[in-house]
C-alpha cells in the first residue's frame, strides 16, 4: 500500500530528522517536507498563538494544511503537549501524538506516547544567577530557552538564543524594559533533543500499528478499540477491575478479534481484588 509512494511530513520544526528514516526503512516511502506548511498557525508552544482545538483535531488540521498546500495524498503529522503526568504525581510529562493520513485509501492511524523524559519547566527569573541555574536545569544550550516579560505576557517573546552571552543580554533588556522576566524551556522539536527522542518513540509505535494488519482483509491498522476488565483474582477467582482482554477491530471490514491476557497475566494479585481487599 505504501512502498514507492511520497510521504509528506507536515512540520516546520525539523521532525523529519527522526520520522523520515524510520518510515523510509519500514515502508520504502520517499519522505519530504515543505516550507509552505505553517503548522504554527494552529498554535505555538510559546503562547503567542493559542491552540484552539484538541490534539486529534489539530493533527487532522495539520494534515489538511499539507494537502491543500502541496496536494500530497500520504501525510504524517505529530503534535505534543506538556504538563502534569496523568498518573505519575508531581512529574512533568511529554504527551506526543502522531497521525498517518492516507487520502488515497481513506485511512487514518494514530499513536500516542507519554514520557516523563522531558525538561519542561518555566519560572520567573529575578536575576542572572537564577537564570544561570535555570539554564543548567534546562540543558541549555543544547536545549533552547524562551524569554518573555511574564508567563502570560507575549508582547516580547525571544527565541533561538545560541549561547549564554546572547541569553544574558536578552534577559537584561527584558528586565530593563519590563521590570520582570520569565524563562521557559523551548519545546519546539528542533530546539529540544529530549523531545525528539519521544517523537522517535511514538513514530515507532505508529509504524507497529500500521504493520498490524487485519487477519481477514490484510488492511493496516488492526488495533485495540475496546479494553475489557475482569481478570480473575488469584485467590478467590472474583473478576477484578484489571484488564482481561483487548478487542481489536479492522477499520476496513469491521472484523473483530478478542485477545486475552494482554499483560501476560492470567490472574491478578489479591491486593487489587475488591472481594479480597475491599
Q: Each residue of 143-189: pLDDT tens digit?
A: 999 999 999 999 999 999 999 999 999 999 999 999 999 999 999 99
**DSSP 8-state class, residue 63:** H
- In terms of C-beta density within 10 A (0-12 exposed, 13-18 middle, 19 or more buried), how is residue 71 classed? exposed
Residues of the chain where predicted confidence (pLDDT) is lower than 50 = none
Which residues, 6+ apart, have CB-to-CB distance to 158 below 8 Å? 146, 147, 148, 170, 174
Which residues, 6+ apart, have CB-to-CB distance to 134 below 8 Å? 121, 123, 125, 145, 183
Give the pLDDT score at 198.
98
Question: In what helix (H) or strand (E) does residue 195 lie, and over which residues does it extend?
Answer: helix 193-211
Give the pLDDT score at 49.
77
Give the pLDDT score at 137.
96
Give the pLDDT score at 90.
74
Give the pLDDT score at 4.
95
Give the pLDDT score at 71.
86
Q: Are 112 and 95 in contact (CB under 8 A)?
A: yes
Question: DSSP 3-state assignment of 90?
Answer: coil
pTM: 0.88
Count CB neighbours of 219 within 10 A: 16
Q: Are 59 and 77 in contact (CB under 8 A)?
A: yes
Which residues, 6+ apart, have CB-to-CB distance to 254 below 8 Å? none
Amino acid at each position: 500500500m505504501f512502498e514507492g509512494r511520497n510521504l509528506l511530513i507536515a512540520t516546520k520544526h525539523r521532525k523529519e530528522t527522526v520520522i523520515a528514516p524510520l518510515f523510509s526503512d519500514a515502508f520504502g516511502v520517499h519522505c519530504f517536507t515543505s516550507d509552505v506548511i505553517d503548522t504554527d498557525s494552529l498554535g505555538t508552544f510559546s503562547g503567542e498563538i493559542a491552540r484552539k482545538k484538541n490534539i486529534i483535531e489539530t493533527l487532522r488540521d495539520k494534515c489538511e494544511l499539507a494537502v491543500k498546500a502541496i496536494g500530497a495524498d500520504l501525510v504524517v503529522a505529530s503534535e505534543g503537549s506538556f504538563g502534569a503526568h496523568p498518573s505519575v504525581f508531581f512529574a512533568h510529562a511529554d504527551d506526543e501524538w502522531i497521525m498517518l493520513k492516507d487520502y488515497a485509501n481513506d485511512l487514518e492511524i494514530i499513536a500516542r506516547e507519554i514520557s516523563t523524559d522531558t525538561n519542561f519547566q518555566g519560572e520567573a527569573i529575578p536575576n542572572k544567577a537564577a537564570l544561570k541555574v535555570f539554564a543548567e536545569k534546562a540543558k541549555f544550550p543544547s536545549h533552547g530557552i524562551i524569554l518573555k516579560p511574564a508567563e502570560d505576557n507575549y508582547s516580547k517573546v525571544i527565541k533561538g538564543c545560541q549561547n549564554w552571552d546572547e541569553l544574558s543580554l536578552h534577559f537584561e533588556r527584558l528586565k530593563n524594559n519590563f521590570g520582570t522576566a520569565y524563562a521557559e524551556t523551548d519545546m519546539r522539536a528542533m530546539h529540544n533533543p529530549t523531545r525528539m527522542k519521544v517523537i522517535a518513540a511514538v513514530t515507532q509505535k505508529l509504524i507497529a500499528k500500521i504493520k498490524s494488519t487485519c487477519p481477514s482483509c490484510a488492511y493496516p491498522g488492526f488495533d485495540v478499540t475496546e479494553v475489557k476488565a475482569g481478570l480473575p483474582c488469584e485467590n478467590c477467582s472474583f473478576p477484578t477491575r484489571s484488564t482481561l482482554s483487548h478487542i481489536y477491530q479492522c477499520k476496513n471490514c469491521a472484523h473483530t478479534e478478542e485477545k486475552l491476557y494482554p499483560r501476560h497475566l492470567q490472574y491478578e494479585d489479591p491486593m487489587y481484588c475488591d472481594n479480597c481487599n475491599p
